Each structure stands twice: as C-alpha cells, then as structure tokens.
Amino acid sequence: MAAFAQAAAGRGGGDPSAEQFVQTEAQKIIAVLADKGKSKAEKEKIFRQLVDQVADVPKVTNFVLGRYARTITPAQHQEFSTVFREYAENVYQSRIDSYHGEGLKVTGSVARKPGDAVVNTVIGGGQIRQPLPVSWRVLNTGGGWRVVDVQFKGVWLAITEQQDFVSTIDKAGGNVDVLIAQLKRDIQQQNAGK
Amino acid sequence: MNDQWAETGMGMIVLAVAAIFLIYAFSVGGVATGRGGYEVSARFDQVGSLAAGDAVKLAGVKIGTVSKITLDPKTFLAKTNLDLDPTVKLPADSTAKITSDSLLGGVHVTIEPGGSASDLKAGGEIENTQGAVDLFGLIGQVMRPQSAGPATASGEAAGSPATQAP
C-alpha cells in the first residue's frame, strides 16, 4: 500500500484539484473496503451514501439514456433513475468481497477545459499482477468534482452503456419501459445470485 | 504541324476529363467546403487512422466530414474539426465516437445524439468522445489472457507478456 500512497505530480496540462479529488475519494473507498470490522451489509450501506459524493448520478442517468432523455416522461424518468441506481450499485456491490488490498495511484491528468478533466490512475497491488491503467472523467460545475465516466483500455464505460441502453430502447420501438423492465430483471438475477 | 495540334488537343481533353473527375469526386466525397455547413470540434485521446475528409455519420447517415485534425500541444489530445450539415442540430451533450467501417480498416466519426435540451452551436465542442480503440490489441489480450483467477494463478509463469506500461 505504501507504494500507492501519494500522487505523482503531473506535468503541465493537468488539474491538481481534480487529481486530489480522485485520490481522496479512492482512499475513502479503499478504507471502507479494507475494513475487516464491518460486515458486507454495513459496507453496502456506506457505499450508498458515498456514491453521491463521488459520482454525478443525475448527470450519468440522463447521459446513458442518450436521445431518449429528451422524450421520456417524468414518471418514466423517475422510475428509470431508481432502477438505474440500484442496477449500478449492485454491479459494484457484487465486487465487495473480492477486494484483496488493491490500491489506486494517480499518475497525472489532462485538463480538457476548466472544470472538465480526465485523471489517469493505475490500480495495482493485491491480486493484480500487472497494474491496470484506469482513467476517470471528472467534472466540476460549481459544487465540487464528480466522476461522470470511467475509461479502461480506451473504452469509456458510460458511453458504452449509453450505446447499450439506447439500442435496447431502439429495438423496443422507442419504448423506455422495456429497458426499465430489463434492468429490473437483471437486478433480480443479481440479487438471486448473491 | 497537324500532328502537333492533334496531340495538344488530346492532352487538353485528358486534362478536362481529369478535372471533371476531380470535381465529381470532391462533390460526392463532400470534401468541398463553403456549402454553408457549421463547424464543431471534438478532442479524442486517439484518432487511429482517421484523416481529414472522412465521413461524420449519425444513425449511418452522412451528416458532415472531418475537415481538419491537429494535435493540441498542451493536452496531447487530437483535435478534430467537423464540418456538419446545417440542417442537423445536435444536442449539446452528444457523443462523438471513432468507429471502424470494417475489421480491415476505414474509420469514420459516429455521432450519438444526447438528451440535452440545448443544441450545440457553431464553433462549439462535442465534449463526450470515445477515441479509436485498438481492436487487435484487445483481441490479442483475449487470446492470451494475462491474469486468470486466483486458483489458476500459480500455473502462470512470471514471463507473462507486458502490454501496457503506464
């Protein structure tokens, strides 16, 4: 862990406050994951509270709907927000038990413009033999930095998820309810597999 | 003397035909500028083999062309200028992706419209971008996985190939 303790100072084009944000939040998450005194249920509860400090959930929720965010009804939006949050949380919670001392180190950042940066990190240690480069797109629209997307091997997660969701809605002839129903089924399967 | 004129005339005809083809190719390819399009930019971390003149498509329909690709010296991102059809108004939070036409190559920019209520203005920037993904690199990693589960980890030699040095 000591090797991953401090952020390396990035060169010119970076944004130190964005780097600081990613490092601090990662440290918080790792502290919870590594806490052997807490049960899995307790950890899940803490993560549910942490999520809004780390990620811009409303923004991501709108983003993954793509062009359908314009046409969705308020009732559908409400329902999708709830279901999407649970879906996303489930994906990460299923990994809580597989934490074995991995750490995150910020290696630099690229400031695309003020309040919009991509922070590059490597995740290593624990059971990871080769450090994994992961990048975080963070935005600051006045209320502090929030993560809106994650990149691994050149692929952005939210952009890929948007593609996935939009094509599901496309296939259903533009009916968002079909996507909501599918996410609910996925959540049930995840819960059954726990 | 007559022969010379015939040769000169032939040369003229060849040149004229070449010019006609050039104009035709440009108009079909949509490279010609100044047709009242508007320009937006998008910065990618990787453009791959994208080049000026490549198509910008939405839902598979061509809505513009890549007019310029330059390197942003500060961020080391590739900045592309996209010349778009003025009748197409894109939501401000649209996504630009670099997509392959086929496995063998040929790329274009795909626009995935977002859901924002405001539209992207001329001179604006598409902020959500997905750069070109090294497909063969990814396939290679699937063919020779680098880390199996903990149960089989002991079977792996230390000589697993290093692909990406951070």
**Residue B39 contacts A where some CB pair is shorter than 8 Å:** no
Determine the residue type at B73: P
Predicted pLDDT of residue B1: 64
DSSP of A76-104: HHHHHHHHHHHHHHHHHHTTGGG--SEEE
Question: Does the structure show a pLDDT above 50 at A193?
Answer: yes
Q: Percent of chain B, pLDDT > 70?
A: 81
Which tokens hold the place of B41? 């930019």
* Interface contact A62-B162, CB threshold 8 A: no
Q: What is the mean pLDDT of residues B22-41?
A: 74
**Residue B113 contacts A where some CB pair is shorter than 8 Å:** yes
**Residue A183 parent element (H or E):** helix A176-193
Out of B112, B130, B134, closest to residue A66 by CB? B112
Predicted pLDDT of residue A187: 87
Q: Find the residue in B nearest to A109 (Cα).
A: B75
> What is the per-residue pLDDT across B116-145, written as a single tens digit (0 to 9) for each?
888 898 999 999 999 888 777 778 877 776
Give the ipTM of the model, two decimals please.
0.73
Distance of CA B27 to the CA centre of its chain: 19
Q: What is the mean pLDDT of residues B12-25?
A: 92
* Interface contact B130-A155, CB threshold 8 A: yes
Sheet hosting strand B77-84, strand order edge to edge: B125-126, B38-44, B77-84, B61-72, B55-58, B105-112, B95-102, B128-130
Lowest mean pLDDT, pick from A9-23, A27-41, A134-148, B92-106: A9-23
Distance from CA of A24 to the nearest CA of B (A): 21
Out of B116, B133, B147, closest to residue A154 by CB? B133
Mean pLDDT (chain A, rounded): 85
